[in-house]
């Protein structure tokens, strides 16, 4: 069964050849953008532009139809008006194509009978022709291991173990962009739009057994096979964390979802209960989704409920300690007092003026003194009451008060201590965007997660803790 499912999806994420129907020399046409992105990304298979005029497009020989291509074709991208798609599907069936992905829109999502009829006819032709459909109304598959970019985006991120399925092409593109900046490494991503043939259940069946995927994220607006999805989610989440962001939770959002992908809305109350029963994490925004995926990617599988907060590296104050504690407590994280030994050792190295020698710890602005920072981290990490350390960097203060080289050295210290106990960084905006991106990537490469606020860090860590408590029977 596992081998069959892996074989079935091989041409979805690892196609040996791709034809682009609607390829054009016009750079504003999406057919051209798909083709150029594949070329620029170094796609490993063979490429075939398809255009009725033939000739050459982007330096490649173009063919009038898919049937005219002399070699086997596994994956076809369709970017032409909806009224012409049925003829293309006849060509795909005759050619023995495995997968057809429709960028083309104008089907069931319109709510009009003609669009719905066309979509039903497409699915019928796919079944008769022995191929599968991704979409319509979608951007398709992203497979960095196969150098297969996401639609017209030529960039490829690093290969990893996170998979993402999405009914929204825009949200899938955004999570890939965030991943490139923050270090989320994807095994594969797919935007499947209306899901007329392959839908969330099909992709989950595959990802459940995919050896290259360890964590699964999803953006969904609705589904046709609710019971099957719940059963699969319950089975899958036992070994692979699942994080789902649901769209269309309000009446207005449900109406928007219906016009976006033709999805039938599910009651928000039912959705929440169903996911909880299945041991699946529900998130409420793209930002929370990204934070939680990154947390699972970097953390070992254990509970991190007791946190130490280290702040005041270049400034701070008692108010920050209060708000930091509130942020953690509000999502179920504990901020326990340090042991007497820890407090005594900290008292011996931190200045009496400005420091707060409890948890949260305020260093009194001496974080830029590397010897003091290193010794402080050694003491805090060694405290037996602490599972996880959150360092609140306040980049805008550090940027003013410490040299760039010192900031680099500070982060090297945090990376070293990450090997002794889980450690994350809260880095509120402060540096120029390029510098911040470089900082995030350096830390992410060392398995140190960076969050833009303590609230977001606490929520993502709490999501992870909920998952591990649930699957250990403690909820």
pLDDT digits (tens, 9 = 90+) for 85-134: 999 999 999 999 999 999 999 999 999 999 999 999 999 999 999 999 99
- Torsion sign across C-alpha atoms 205, 210, 214, 215: negative
Sheet hosting strand 46-50, strand order edge to edge: 46-50, 17-21, 75-78, 99-102, 132-134
> CATH 3.40.50.720 region(s) of the chain?
2-134
For residue 281, the SS3 value is strand
Q: Tokens 């036992």 label which residue?
A: 238
> What confidence category does residue 353 fall into, taking pLDDT thresholds of 50, 70 and 90?
low
Mean pLDDT score, 44-50:
97
Just give the CATH number of 2-134.
3.40.50.720
The Cα–Cα gap between 141 and 63 comes to 23
- The 3-state secondary structure of 68-108, one letter per residue: HCCCCCCEEEECCCHHHHHHHHHHHHHHCCCEEEECCCCCH
% helix / strand / coil in the chain, to the nearest 5? Answer: 45, 20, 35
- Domain 307-471 top-level CATH class: alpha beta
> CATH 3.40.50.261 region(s) of the chain?
140-298, 307-471
pLDDT digits (tens, 9 = 90+) for 393-412: 776 567 677 788 888 898 99
Residue 251 has pLDDT above 60, yes or no: no
pLDDT at 390: 96
For residue 21, the SS3 value is strand
Residue 338 has pLDDT above 80, yes or no: yes
> What confidence category does residue 328 fall into, taking pLDDT thresholds of 50, 70 and 90?
very high
Mean of the per-residue pLDDT values of the chain? 91
pLDDT at 260: 44
Just give the CATH number of 140-298.
3.40.50.261
The Cα–Cα gap between 286 and 294 comes to 12
> What confidence category does residue 430 fall into, taking pLDDT thresholds of 50, 70 and 90?
low
Nearest to 131 by CA among 61, 78, 187: 78
pLDDT at 356: 77
The Cα–Cα gap between 214 and 163 comes to 8
The Cα–Cα gap between 307 and 464 comes to 14
pLDDT at 257: 46
Between 287 and 272, where is the model more confident? 287
Residue 467 has pLDDT above 60, yes or no: yes
> Concatenated DSSP letters for 168-224?
-HHHHHHHHHHHHHHT--EEEEEE-TT-SSS-HHHHHHHHHH-TT-SEEEEEES--S
pLDDT at 265: 60
pLDDT at 404: 82
> What confidence category does residue 156 fall into, taking pLDDT thresholds of 50, 70 and 90?
very high
pLDDT at 154: 85
Mean pLDDT score, 138-162:
96
The Cα–Cα gap between 122 and 114 comes to 12
Residue 367 has pLDDT above 80, yes or no: no
pLDDT digits (tens, 9 = 90+) for 297-323: 999 888 889 999 998 886 656 677 889
How many CB atoms are closer than 10 A to CB 357?
Answer: 17
Kind and range of the H or E run holding 391:
strand 388-392
User: Going along 4-45, which residue ranges are E strands?
Assistant: 17-21
What the block records as the tokens of 219 is 């953006």
pLDDT digits (tens, 9 = 90+) for 73-96: 999 999 999 999 999 999 999 999
């Amino acid at each position: 069964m596992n081998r069959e499912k892996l074989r079935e999806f091989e041409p979805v994420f690892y196609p040996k050849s791709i034809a682009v129907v609607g390829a054009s020399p016009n750079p504003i046409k999406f057919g051209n953008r798909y083709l150029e992105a594949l070329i620029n990304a170094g796609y490993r298979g063979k490429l075939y532009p398809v255009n009725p005029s033939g000739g050459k497009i982007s330096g490649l020989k173009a063919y009038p139809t898919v049937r005219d291509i002399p070699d086997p074709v596994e994956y076809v991208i369709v970017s032409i008006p909806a009224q012409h798609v049925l003829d293309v599907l006849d060509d795909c069936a005759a050619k023995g194509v495995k997968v057809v992905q429709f960028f083309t829109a104008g089907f069931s999502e319109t709510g009009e009978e003609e669009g719905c009829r066309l979509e039903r006819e497409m699915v019928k032709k796919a079944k008769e022709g022995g191929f599968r459909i991704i979409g319509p109304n979608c951007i398709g598959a992203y497979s960095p291991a196969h150098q297969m970019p996401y639609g017209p985006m030529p960039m490829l991120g690093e290969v990893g173990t996170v998979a993402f399925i999405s009914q929204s092409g825009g949200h899938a593109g955004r999570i890939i962009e965030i991943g490139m900046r923050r270090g989320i490494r994807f095994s594969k991503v797919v935007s499947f739009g209306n899901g007329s043939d392959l839908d969330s259940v099909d992709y989950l069946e595959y990802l459940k057994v995919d050896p290259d995927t360890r964590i699964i994220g999803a953006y969904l607006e609705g589904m046709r096979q609710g019971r099957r999805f719940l059963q699969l989610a319950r089975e899958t989440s036992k070994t692979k964390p699942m994080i789902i962001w649901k769209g269309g939770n309000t009446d207005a959002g449900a109406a928007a979802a219906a016009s976006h992908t033709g999805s039938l809305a599910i009651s928000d109350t039912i959705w929440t209960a169903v996911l909880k029963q299945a041991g699946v994490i529900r998130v409420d925004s793209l930002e929370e989704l990204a934070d939680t995926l990154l947390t699972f990617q970097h953390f070992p599988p254990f509970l991190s409920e007791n946190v130490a907060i280290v702040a005041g590296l270049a400034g701070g104050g008692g108010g920050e300690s209060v708000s930091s504690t509130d942020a953690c407590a509000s999502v179920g994280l504990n901020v326990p007092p340090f042991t007497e030994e820890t407090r005594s050792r900290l008292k011996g190295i931190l200045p009496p003026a400005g420091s707060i020698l409890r948890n949260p710890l305020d260093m009194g602005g001496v974080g830029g003194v590397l010897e003091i920072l290193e010794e402080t981290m050694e003491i805090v990490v060694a405290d037996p009451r602490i599972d996880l350390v959150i360092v609140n960097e306040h980049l805008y203060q550090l940027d003013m008060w410490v040299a760039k080289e010192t900031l680099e050295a500070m982060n090297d210290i945090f990376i070293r201590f990450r090997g002794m106990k889980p450690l994350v960084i809260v880095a509120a905006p402060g540096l120029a965007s390029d510098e911040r991106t470089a900082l995030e990537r350096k830390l992410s490469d060392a398995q140190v997660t960076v969050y833009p606020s303590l609230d977001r860090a606490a929520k993502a860590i709490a999501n992870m803790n909920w998952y591990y408590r649930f699957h250990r029977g403690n909820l």
